Amino acid sequence: MRGQEVKVLYGLEKLDPPLQQSVLTIGNFDGVHRAHQQLLAQACLFAANTGGPVVVMTLEPHPLSVVGRRQAPPRLSPLEQKLELLGAQGADLVVVAKSEPALLGLEADRFVEEVIVKRFHPTHLVEGPSFGFGRGRKGTSQLLQRLGPKHGFEVHVVDPISLQIEEGEMVMVSSSLVRRLLLEGKVRRAALCLGRPYSLFGEVVAGASRGRSLGFPTANVAVGDQLVPGNGVFAGRAMIGDATYLAAISIGHTPTFPDGQDQVEAFLLEFDGDVYGERIQIEFHHRLRDQRKFASPDALVAQLRRDVECVRHLLSPKRKSGKEKERTN
């Protein structure tokens, strides 16, 4: 059954012998959002007819970190999560090609011959209309459609996904759009584009322990190069191992205390334990409020209590009678 487990190869050279009769899609797939999911769904339909594997080729690190005049954008999904999401969408095999000048500098026609044909031998190639490849990204979907018949594969260009996430405004789903929405703190709208709540992944590290002194001990999370949503307080969930907890999440510094530094921290409801050094996943469901300065620690504590009640109200499972459950995991 598709979507159960994905095989991963690190490096094009690991395709030895080369694949045969594959259904291929190539891209960065950061976030594996709804437009990416549509590509995979189309590839799965072709694979069902041909009997070949659905294969994704992605590049690590982001090509802009190797070539290009601007910095690579922050990640929406760490590689491990991206691989899991691609498998969940039907990929049988993901080939993680190393972004290096020798590969990125291939002229478009040579990329087709040396990479697409020689390594994958696809029957079908599925891409979006803005797909670019080869030196200077001069290769286009239109070029692939011209070269495909010569090399024995069909090229299918999948229309972009449009959603109405702003009243009266239709937008095309893309990784750059998701990044913009997250930086603006619009986590619910980003979730519409992703098809799931946005998550941060990281390790719980030691903080100033100020939350504990206020009666709200928090897990401070180091998230590496992943994109952190814009400053604010959010309702979400936190996953540690097999356990899930409701969470009040704070991003930014604490203006009430002058020495506050920017950080990601989560107060886990109904939890009392030590999670330092643990891996954690934090899901963002709702934005509750801005960060702001309070007149005193007591005023801050009162607001934190209100934040926690908002999290319960928004995310606690409902009983059939309509009353909220207190159980959070």
CATH number of the domain where residue 14 is located = 3.40.50.620
| In a shared domain, residues 67 and 147 | yes
Close Cβ partners of 298 (under 8 Å, ≥ 6 residues apart): none
Q: Are 261 and 152 contained in the same domain?
A: no
Distance of CA 93 to the CA centre of its chain: 19
Contacts of residue 234, Cβ cutoff 8 Å, sequence gap at least 6: 187, 248, 249, 250, 251, 284, 285, 286, 287, 288
User: Is 202 in the same domain as 153?
Assistant: no
| Secondary structure percentages of the chain, helix, strand, coil, to 5 | 30, 30, 40
Q: Are residues 150 and 15 in the same domain?
A: yes
Q: Which residues of the chain have pLDDT under 50?
A: 1, 319-329
DSSP 8-state secondary structure symbol assigned to residue 197: -
**Residues 50 and 139 reside in one and the same domain:** yes
pLDDT value for 325: 37
Question: What local confidence, expressed as pLDDT, does residue 120 receive?
Answer: 97
Q: Which of 199, 182, 225, 224 is nearest to 281 (CA)?
A: 199
Contact 46, 153 (CB under 8 A): no
User: Domain boundary residue among 157, 186, 208?
Assistant: 157
225 and 147 assigned to the same domain: no
Give the whole-angstrom CA distance, residue 191 versus residue 15: 35
- Which of left, alpha, beta for 266 (phi over 0: left; psi -120 to 50: alpha)? beta
Same domain, 211 and 106: no
Q: By residue range, what is the domain housing residue 297? A: 198-315
Give the per-residue pLDDT at 313. 96
pLDDT at 91: 98
pLDDT at 242: 94
Q: For residue 171, is it within any domain?
A: no
- At 324 the pLDDT is 38
Q: Are residue 151 and residue 215 in the same domain, yes or no?
A: no
Do 222 and 142 lie in one domain? The reply is: no
Would you state the structure tokens that stand for residue 41, as one six-digit string? 């769904």
Q: Does the global pTM surpass 0.75?
A: yes
- Domain tally, the chain: 2
Q: Who contacts 123 (Cβ-Cβ below 8 Å, separation ≥6)?
A: 21, 22, 23, 46, 50, 52, 152, 153, 154
3-state secondary structure of 119: helix
pLDDT for the residue numbered 250: 95
| Cβ within 8 Å of residue 43, ≥6 positions away | 23, 24, 25, 54, 90, 124, 126
Residue 325 lies in a domain: no
In a domain, 138, yes or no: yes
Instruction: Look up residue 81 and give its two tokens.
Output: 């999560």
**Residues 68 and 117 reside in one and the same domain:** yes
